[in-house]
Homo-oligomer: A and B are copies of this chain.
Amino acid sequence: MVEVTASNFSEYFSEIEEAIRQCDFIALDTEFTGLKIDDDANKPSLFDGGAERYAKLRETISKITICQLGISVFRRDQKQTSVYVAKTYNIPLFPRSFGPVDERFVCQASSLQFLCRYKFDFNKFIYEGLSFLNEDQERQVREHIASKAMFTGLERDLDEEALQRICSRVAEWLVSKDNVPVFTLQKSDMESFPLYVLSTELRGRFPTIWTTVDSNLKTIEVQRIDQGEREKRESEELTNQKQQEEQLVQRMLGFTRVFRVMKQCKKPLIGHNNLMDLMLVYDKFHLPLPASYTEFKSQLHAIFPWIYDTKHVIFRMRGAITEDTGLLQKTSLSEIYKELDSDKGRDLVIFPPAVMHAEGHTKYNGDSLPHEAGFDAFMCGFVFLRLAHIKTFKDVKSSEVIPCLFRRYLQSMEEYCNKVNIIRARINNISLDSVDYQSEKPELLFVRSRLMKKRLNIDQLAKWFSPYGNVDIRVFGKNRALAATNNFKCSRDILKAFRGHPTIYVAEYSIWRHSPLVRGILWSGAIVSGGLCILALVGSVKERKP
């Protein structure tokens, strides 16, 4: 691993760029400053489809920031066909302010405490974090530079009163009838303002002056000129400064420059439970997340045509493996990594590809640093490779397992491409390149009070159902409710337990689908779900990895 910061980024950029251009795939992970910005409104629910979940996450993601990003760039070794070499970059990111771009981001106390558990260095984040801009912000920075108001708002300690005293003197000279052509501000006049700052301030305030900074004598000469001459001189100066300003923009762009290389190269992008990562990357480096879920999907797909989520892959692949070997029961990234890196994991299918850290990237050799973004990215790439090998050769005779190109791995993983895991929702994953799958979750449960006059108590229902698993409940009217569960066993257990219950009646929603009365209620319920319905979420919810 190499740590890339604001101060060494210019040294590493071309290495990173080259690594991306030559690689087979990129694994990416982010750490961020908050998880749920709002306690209630944006809570994930088992009723959520893809669009609902996207809307909730978008609300959060627009307000938080990425504090650390890891990319691990994997390339098959050119000499040893079954060896992959990983170049891993761990990058603290910080949204540096400049002119009108002054990011406000939310920190959630528990999220920062979570980072503390993994020894996150907040000083490195804030002091040395690499800058980044999305396209909107880049436009603002460029406009700001063009407007020459460059230092307004930057120097927060600018002494407004002192500035006022200086401006008053210039104003007096400007309106005076004496016709003194040049007014010189001496060092002693400038009350500790940097020359360039003051010069810019003066030009901004007086449209018919020209200022010339003499940095040796530490003076500013102020001349009367007409607006035409002013514009001419500004345009000349602008041409000279273009290069310097472009350098400034490039410094502000920071990590966005890496993102743009990724966007150009369109290599497969791997993550673990990476919906939030993808949305963060889009929002912070590309453009603010669009309101439309389908627009997000199509735009993201245009940028990264091949996205893989190892959490989704595990869920789809593990059945037979778990039965045979007991492996892959847990789906947290570090558990999977540990298992696949163990002897038992290596033996799942013969001749798995070896993974080496590239020269100069050896900090992670023998080290385990879960929740450091670089290390998580590396683990994720490793896991993807091993799973791809298993998938490719699991039904092939041992004697026929031969080192193969990465392309072959990618072909065998095709069915998982652009499927991204989604937790505690009506669906198990979203499809980035097509309409989301229909639910693989159990039917909703329909609940009715047996005593027609008795109002259903949502807290009571929550208490009754929660021992059987995660259940979310919506109440309709006085005495009807729907319950969404996370798995079939939970639904079955609830149906069994409440058969013949004295006060509530519970059934699968499908039985009721054909009753016009109930259909009417549900339909109206669905429409007003933000308004009249009450949503109770039972149990604790975790969107974060695992």
Contact = CB atoms under 8 A, between A and B. Distances in A.
Interface of A: 33-34, 37, 39, 94-97, 100, 102-110, 112-114, 116, 121-123, 125-127, 152-153, 156-162, 164, 167-168, 170-171, 174-175, 204-207, 330-332, 463, 466-470, 486, 489-490, 493, 497, 539-540, 542, 544, 546
Given A107-B104, A123-B122, A127-B116, A467 B540 contact: no
13 contacts: A94-B112, A97-B110, A102-B110, A104-B107, A112-B126, A116-B127, A122-B125, A152-B539, A156-B544, A168-B469, A168-B493, A206-B467, A207-B463
A105 B106 contact: yes
A108 B105 CA distance: 7
Contact of A109 (B96, B122, B174, B470): B96
B105 A107 contact: yes
Quickly give the copy total for this chain: 2
Contacts of A109: 94-97, 102-105
A424 to B, nearest CB: 8
B113 A96 contact: yes
Contacts of A108: 97, 102-104
B168 A110 contact: no
Contacts of A204: 466
A122 B124 CA distance: 9
Contacts of A171: 467-468, 493, 497
Nearest to A167: B467
B39 A100 contact: yes
Given A37-B104, A168-B469, A170-B467, A540 B94 contact: no
Contacts of A205: 466-467
B164 A469 contact: yes
Contact of A168 (B33, B125, B489): B489
A176 to B, nearest CB: 12
Contacts of A546: 157, 159
Given A158-B542, A171-B468, 7 more contacts: A39-B102, A95-B109, A122-B123, A160-B540, A164-B469, A168-B493, A171-B493
Closest 5 CB pairs of A and B: A97-B110, A122-B122, A97-B109, A103-B109, A205-B467
Q: Which of A116, A463, A469 has the most CB of B within 10 A?
A: A469
Contact of A542 (B125, B127, B156, B466): B156
A543 to B, nearest CB: 10
Contact of A123 (B39, B123, B161, B539): B123
Contacts of A105: 106-107, 109
A347 B81 CA distance: 84
B167 A469 contact: yes
B104 A34 contact: yes
A489 B171 CA distance: 12
Contacts of A34: 104
A490 B206 CA distance: 15
Contact of A107 (B107, B170, B539): B107
Contacts of A470: 160, 164
A238 to B, nearest CB: 19
A105 B493 CA distance: 42
Contacts of A107: 33, 104-107
B126 A116 contact: yes
Contact of A540 (B104, B158, B468): B158
Contact of A497 (B122, B175, B332, B497): B175
A117 to B, nearest CB: 9
Contacts of A469: 164, 167-168
A102 B112 CA distance: 11
Contacts of A468: 167-168, 171
A407 B159 CA distance: 35
A319 to B, nearest CB: 15
Contacts of A157: 542, 546
Contacts of A544: 156
